Structure 1
């Protein structure tokens, strides 16, 4: 007798949305659009004839049947991922899958990989960049390096190092019409934001600076692009 199954390609979108209680966060994790996640979930609901989420104006929550279904789907996806890993031992032996942000990868990790390869010639590194913490099982990740406070759910986190953070900009901007001599001088300049470091609100508060809107300026979801913008005089970045 044929199995009654939902669209299998839609299940990861549903599981991620159920875990985050956010279609937007699920889209970010899966590197797809908000609309793609919404359509995938609607496809499952239409196919099964059930409602998985109660949709509000700015939030979603699981229905009782949705919560029960999410738990079973998560278990099934974990089992499929584990079975896939177990079935392909030769392909994963000697491979280290690393996930981190593009900025950390490009400016710190990649320039130092040759040292690791010299000491571990039998291990091939597979590096992927993402702005969110990966699902270690479904994404096949061995190690993730992230900027943050730790305390991540479902993983073992080990502190690596402190980081000194301060404003950086191009030399032309530093010596321009409004020179940067003290923190308060930032009020004359555009702030550059990226998604992976300490935010301007925290830094300005620690520096004792008032009267500057910490949210103004240009925002990038890539640390690499944020650095390039600062190099070309687009504003001041925390680096």
Structure 2
């Protein structure tokens, strides 16, 4: 017999609670679930009313989970993942199996997507289900077989394959650079610089590689996604330090210029990462073997 309804909350309210535990803010939950913050709040209030237990601590417009709610989420999270995977298998015919892949938005769109038609041609029997994630996560808490992460390759309990080293260059709108000396990195110190949230020390590292002394954090405007920082650069709001694969189209069209020469290799790289227990998963093995033909060699010289 199925449990009484009061013990079976809606999937929507459970997803809101789980996402709040994982993301830490109502605004992030709203963005991931494509809801308004007020809708997220209503989902959580409905769940509290149905359970008859305080689940949310509200302080200065910030929402956090009570200890009881944290324990509850730890128990229901695997069930939510199991439901999602079962529903996916039910809805999509999977003759050759499916690969559930997490991707970084910018890298996935600009680097991976243009290459995927070849994989689809070689392995039409494999279905790739993709979701975007901006930061590394624990595979135990997410329904993924593999992910594309950025970092130094040190994620416990996983294996990884290098895809591409990070190579970055400053770019800006042509109008912003008029009258300045091309090739002089010191000229950037007097210009508005655009920062990406996931690379807080990128400008400092770039200036150091160019031999320009820096006395501390480099001031500038911070953006949370590359798509936003690219638009800011295109509209002349400042100089953005971008990975080469993101800048190449706008540089080729003349919408952006690179005033300080070619890209330089920075710390960090893009990796395909998978939990060790998934290493022999059929679709992942096919995808990994094919992706190795697209990846940058690990022993490039010089480095």
TM-score (normalizing by structure 1): 0.74
Aligned with 1:163: secondary structure? Answer: strand
Query: 1:1-239, aligned counterparts within 5 Å?
Result: 2-4=4-6, 5-57=8-60, 60-84=63-87, 87=90, 90-91=93-94, 93-132=96-135, 141-150=144-153, 156=158, 158-160=160-162, 161-174=164-177, 176-179=178-181, 181-196=183-198, 198-199=199-200, 201-204=201-204, 207=208, 208-210=213-215, 213-214=218-219, 216-217=220-221, 219=223, 221=225, 223-239=226-242
TM-superposed deviation, 1:81 = 3.1
Q: Distance in 1 between matches of 2:107 and 2:87?
A: 30
8 Å CA contact retained: 1:94, 1:122: yes
2:193, 2:221 within 8 Å by CA — same for their partners in 1?
yes
Secondary structure, counterpart of 1:158 in structure 2: strand
Shift of 1:177: 3.3
Q: Residues of 2 paired with 1:166 and 1:132: CA distance? A: 22
The structure whose residues are more often strand, as a share, is 2
Cα deviation 1:99-156 (Å, max 9, x = unaligned): 3233213321122223323432433444444535588789754432132345558x73
Which sections of structure 1, spanning at least 5 residues, go unmatched?
none
Q: CA deviation at 1:51?
A: 0.8
**Conserved 8 A contact 2:96-2:125:** no
Residues 96 and 80 (structure 1), Cα distance of their counterparts in 2 relative to 1, 3 Å cut? closer
Pick closer, same or farther for the CA change 1:167–1:89 going to 2, 3 Å: closer
User: Relative to 1, partners in 2 of residues 1:76 and 1:118: Cα closer, same or farther, differing over 3 Å?
Assistant: closer
Unaligned runs of 5+ in 2: 243-303
Q: How many residues align?
A: 233
Shift of residue 46, structure 1, vs aligned partner = 2.2
Q: What's the offset of the Cα at 1:10?
A: 0.8
CA distance in 1, matches of 2:233, 2:168: 15
Q: Which structure is richer in relative contact order (CA contacts within 8 A, separation 6 or more)? A: 2
